[in-house]
Amino acid sequence: MNPIQVGLLGIGTVGSGTFQVLRRNQEEIKRRAGRGIEITMVADLDTARAQAVVGEGVQVVADARAVIANPEIDIVVELIGGYGIAKQLVLEAIAAGKHVVTANKALLAVHGTEIFAAAHAKGVMVAFEAAVAGGIPIIKALREGLTANSIQWIAGIINGTTNFILSEMRDKGLDFDTVLKEAQRLGYAEADPTFDIEGVDAAHKVTLMSAIAFGIPVQFDRAHIEGITKLAAQDIKYAEQLGYRIKLLGVTKRVAKGIELRVHPSLVPSKRLLANVEGAMNAVVVNGDAVGTTLYYGKGAGSEPTASAVIADLVDITRLHTADAAHRVPHLAFHPDAMSDLKVLPMAEVVTSYYLRLRVADEAGVLAKVTGLLAGAGISIDAVLQREADEVGGEGSTQTDLIILTHDTREGTLDDALAQLQALPTVLAPIVRIRKEELS
């Protein structure tokens, strides 16, 4: 059988890796896929650089639409990124009857409903293993490997840049800004790292996992998103003293009232494997009712790790593209006519536990007042740590830090209690609140 023909839209880091791995492992990939897979056309604005990557045997063009219009191309791989032209090209490729592989989490998290509907109507596949956690086959695991389960929750470190920054802050006791500059120098963080450090990239990824896990439409606009820019080195140190590490987690949970969908810094017990995922690595924990807790770990970015996921999708499509469309694995794991209308809950309805840090006047009765107020709100305290005033504010200091760990409580209840605590004259600075996930 003739090889299946692939056209790449964009040949940067991931595109180059895809070309190289496909060429290096072509024989084994062919034995797995049942037929060869060849990149025969590439579109990139920098045609000279693209031609240098792929050599003379591959047609290179500047116009992506020339790839989509080529009747010989079976699969279009979109590696442009973003919501703009990438969206138009993906929709045009679908309309032209091409299968699509994309690493574009932003596009699918925001416009997935429209794109998957178009693909379903046209009977083509849109595959996106590379969109979540790079080389870790988490989409495959959720959509197929765990298909027997009622998934209960997912918690993941799904942004390597922020995990690198948090690891360095903890290891070296440095502040956020210093480590961000280092991450940019090393090439981990983009020149504009906003999506990474503000939690948006992680929210795109957890939105996709949530849809697949619970059979709900992608709802990025309902996700709660907090990044790591306001995290103080001091809180990383206090958390460590209490037996926790702070990670930027993407969390999605099935609870009685609906679905939680959130990204924020979280305290994770140091003894959990997830707490020990360091540097730019990614890891995802999935809990299913039958399987229990499972963990997936690996490189979440980079040329060949991401290419590994892109090529896995190319092989899947090659195996399935002659199959009756109704017998393929549904894009979001559940059949489009069997999606759930479980609603994504507002943060006030989320139930979790908390780390609180209060800068207080170091005087009699302050601790009693704070704990009394929490008790009055029905918030149960798990642990309290009070620092020496001298250690916090220098010799002779009249201020100290009070660190409180709570048991599970409703976020709306905590918000009300925090407003009351903040109004106390003995609370001298904005209260720091970081959520805590026991992951048990």
205 flagged as catalytic: yes
Q: Which whole-number Å values give the CA distances from 230 to 9, 112, 196, in the listed order?
A: 37, 31, 14
Please state the closest distance from residue 333 (CB atom) to ligand HSE, in A: 21
Distance from the first to the final alpha carbon of the chain = 50
Choosing from 87, 98, 205, 247, which is the catalytic residue? 205
Please state the closest distance from residue 105 (CB atom) to ligand HSE, in A: 7
Please state the closest distance from residue 195 (CB atom) to ligand HSE, in A: 7
Q: Which of 325, 328, 356 is nearest to 431 (CA)?
A: 356
Q: Which stretch binds ligand HSE (CB under 6 A): 20-28, 121-129, 158-166, 429-437?
A: 158-166
Cβ(17)–Cβ(39) below 8 Å: no
The yes or no reply on residue 160 touching ligand HSE (CB under 6 A) is yes
State the angle between helix axes of 160-172 and 233-241 in degrees (0 to 180), rounded to the nearest 10.
70
Please state the closest distance from residue 204 (CB atom) to ligand HSE, in A: 8
Please state the closest distance from residue 440 (CB atom) to ligand HSE, in A: 26
Q: Cβ of 227: how many Cβ atoms within 10 Å?
A: 24
Indicate the helix (H) or strand (E) that contains 425: none
The yes or no reply on residue 201 touching ligand HSE (CB under 6 A) is yes
Q: Indicate the residue among 161 and 318 with the shorter CB distance to ligand HSE.
A: 161
Q: Indicate the residue among 196 and 411 with the shorter CB distance to ligand HSE.
A: 196
Sheet containing 75-78, strands listed edge to edge, beginning at the edge strand earlier in sequence: 59-61, 37-43, 4-9, 75-78, 99-102, 126-127
Residue 135: phi, psi to the nearest 5?
Answer: -80, -10
Q: Indicate the residue among 201 and 226 with the shorter CB distance to ligand HSE.
A: 201
Cβ(259)–Cβ(344) below 8 Å: yes
Q: Which stretch binds ligand HSE (CB under 6 A): 156-164, 206-214, 235-243, 265-273?
A: 156-164
> Of residues 300-359, which lie at the interface with ligand HSE (CB under 6 A)?
300-301
Q: Which stretch binds ligand HSE (CB under 6 A): 26-34, 90-98, 155-163, 358-366?
A: 155-163
Map residues 177-196 to x or -, x wherever contact with ligand HSE holds by CB under 6 A: -------------------x
In this structure, which amino acid lies at residue 42? V
DSSP single-letter state for residue 272: S
Size of the site for ligand HSE (CB under 6 A): 7
Residue 292: phi, psi to the nearest 5?
Answer: 85, -145
Active site residues: 205
Positions in the binding site for ligand HSE (CB under 6 A): 159-161, 196, 201, 300-301
